[in-house]
Amino acid sequence: MKHLPNAVTLANLFLGAVALVLAIEGQPQLSAILIAICAVLDFSDGMLARLLNARSELGQQLDSLADLVSFGMAPAGILYHYLQGAVHGLNPQALQNVLPFAAFFLAVFAGLRLAIFNIDTRQTRSFIGLPTPANAAFFASLPFVLAFAGHQGFIFRWVEIITQSWIWLLLLLALFSVLMVAPIPMFSLKIKNLSWQENRAPYIFAALILISLIIFGLQAVALIVFFYLILSLLFAASAK
């Protein structure tokens, strides 16, 4: 039983690798579904480790490796897919072949963010920099937003504009790469007690998630990530 959490982590790693391949092969929606499953597994392995009292250094290292693949490489693969389409017709021809690989800087910064997290003792109950699952959630939501953008009116049309422009995609890449390593306090969803004073940010965020999902369904995930960023900045500013 003590090996069960690591087995779940390895399943996360395997599905993250498959998600990367699917994204590169032009199946971003399937890739996004697997990334969502990886997020569930990432939550489950830690919970199992606590319940079974099976925390270990090996488990921590495996968890970071799985997160790098599932929440760094796989979303980078989705970005690579959209960059490939956006650079079509770009001159010179060499740029069409090379520019899409810039997407994997997302994985580089995800790896840097995870390495910083592993050695930063300040990040036990909160985060500094955008967590890699939030990064993955944003990019994994793009295929679903695009699939239903026509049914949601102008609110989500911005995704169509961004995914068709290599300039906007590179700006998005730069934004999320910087956010993952920036010294910006981000609240955690871990709730130790039911106190409103100590858990205002998670409670407000949970309400925003519920309202957004009711109104927009799965297409709301991209908006939810921005809500998380805005709330983190507001609560960090109010705490000063």
Residue-range domains of the chain with CATH: 4-187 (1.20.120.1760)
Q: What is the pLDDT of residue 124?
A: 63
pLDDT tens-digit series, residues 73-103: 999 999 999 999 998 877 787 788 899 999 9
Amino acid identity of 32? Answer: A
Kindly report the pTM of this predicted structure. Answer: 0.87
Tokens of 71: 């929440």
Q: Which helix (H) or strand (E) holds 134?
A: helix 132-148
Tokens of 33: 């579904």
Strands (E) located in the chain: 126-128, 185-187
Shortest CA distance to 201 belongs to which of 211, 188, 213, 212?
188
CB atoms within 10 A of CB 13: 20
Q: What is the pLDDT of residue 217?
A: 76
CA atoms within 13 A on the CB side of 162: 17
Of all residues in the chain, the percent with pLDDT exceeding 70 is 90
pLDDT tens-digit series, residues 40-56: 999 888 888 778 887 77
Q: What is the pLDDT of residue 201?
A: 80
Amino acid identity of 39? Answer: A
Q: Which residues contact 24 (CB under 8 A, 6 or more apart)?
A: 77, 80, 81
Tokens of 188: 């955690």
127 beta partners: 186
Task: Report the SS3 class of residue 182.
Answer: coil
Mean pLDDT estimate for the chain = 86
